[in-house]
Amino acid sequence: MKKSYLLLFMSLWTFVAVAQIDSENPAVIDLAEDTTQVNTIQDIIEIQELVSKSNSKDAHFENVWSRKTFFNLGYNMSSRMTAKQGIPLGYDNRTADEFKADGGAMLQLGHNYTLHRGAIANMLQFNIDFTYIDLNFNYFDAEPYAGGFDPKTNENLPWAAKKYNIAYGMTLGPSVTVAPLVMLDNRQLHFFKLNLYYHVGYHAGLLVMDQKRDADMKNTSFDNVAWSLGLSQSFGLSLSWKTIGLGWESRFAYDPKFKSFDGNGPKSGYKFKNPSSRIFISIRY
C-alpha cells in the first residue's frame, strides 16, 4: 500500500513540475521550419492564432496579385500619318504627305506572365506581357486641305479622301508592377497597383478611302483600298484597383507600308510614320 501512495505522489509531483514551465520558457514558434517548441496549452492556442493569421495574410496577397489577364478599351487622343514621300494627287503635280486622325479607338486583350513565384516582398512583380489582340481604328483626313478645297487658289483638289484605317496586331514585351501601399495597415489599399510596360509588335492593316473624283471624273492615283504591314513600339502605364484601371499609352514607332490591291500605286508602296497616344480603361481578371 505504501508503494502505491509513493507512486501516486511521484506522478502528481512530476505533472505539477512540468506544468510550472510557462512564463520562464515560452513557446518558440517557427512557422517556416518544423522546430516549434510547445510547453503549455496557452502555447498551442498562440500557435493556432499565428497559423490562422499567416494563412489569412497569404490568401489576401494571393488575391491582390491574382488578376493577370487584361482587357483595355481606349480612345486615340492623337494620331498622325506622315508619308515618307508625297502621295501624288493627280492634279497639278501636287502631293499630300500628312494626315491627322479626327478620331479613333483601340481594343487590347492580353496576359501578364510573371517571371518569378510570388510578388517580391508582396510589393513588386516583373512580367512578360503578351497582347494577342491589339486592334486599332482611326479616321483620317488630308492636311492642310481637309475638305479638298485649296483656299489659296479657290480650286477644288481632286483628292479629298476620307480615310478609315483598321489594324490588327500582336505585341510582346516586359512590364513591372508595383503595389506601393502594401506597407499600410489597410488591406483595401493593397489592391492599388501601378504597371509600366514596353511592348514591340507587328501589325497588318487596311486603309479604305472614300474618294471624290476630279472634274474629268477620273480616279485619283491612289486606290480606294490598300493593305499594310508594320512594326510598332509602345510605352504605357496604368493605375488599377482590383478589376478596374485607367491607363495611357504612347505608340511612338509604327511604320506601316501601304500597297494597293490592284497595283496602280508604286511597286514599293507608300511608307508612313504613324505615332499616336491614347487613354484607356482597363479591366483585369
pLDDT digit string, tens, across residues 9-18: 555 555 444 4
Confidence band of 239 (pLDDT split at 50, 70, 90): very high
**88 in the same domain as 35:** no
Nine cell digits for residue 173: 514585351
> What pLDDT does 139 receive?
84
Q: Residue 132: which domain range?
A: 67-284
pLDDT per residue as tens digits for the range 71-118: 999 998 877 777 666 555 444 555 556 677 778 999 999 999 999 988
pTM, two decimals, is: 0.70
Confidence band of 227 (pLDDT split at 50, 70, 90): confident
Beta bridge partners of residue 130, listed in sequence order: 111, 172
**72 in the same domain as 54:** no
**11 in the same domain as 141:** no
Number of domains in the chain: 2
**136 in the same domain as 9:** no
Nearest to 97 by CA among 107, 109, 84, 114: 84
**16 in the same domain as 97:** no
**235 in the same domain as 119:** yes
**95 in the same domain as 39:** no
**135 in the same domain as 53:** no
**244 in the same domain as 111:** yes
At 57, which helix (H) or strand (E)? helix 41-64
> What pLDDT does 100 receive?
72
pLDDT per residue as tens digits for the range 134-154: 999 988 765 544 444 555 554
Confidence band of 46 (pLDDT split at 50, 70, 90): low
* Average pLDDT of span 254-277: 72
* Average pLDDT of span 205-233: 67
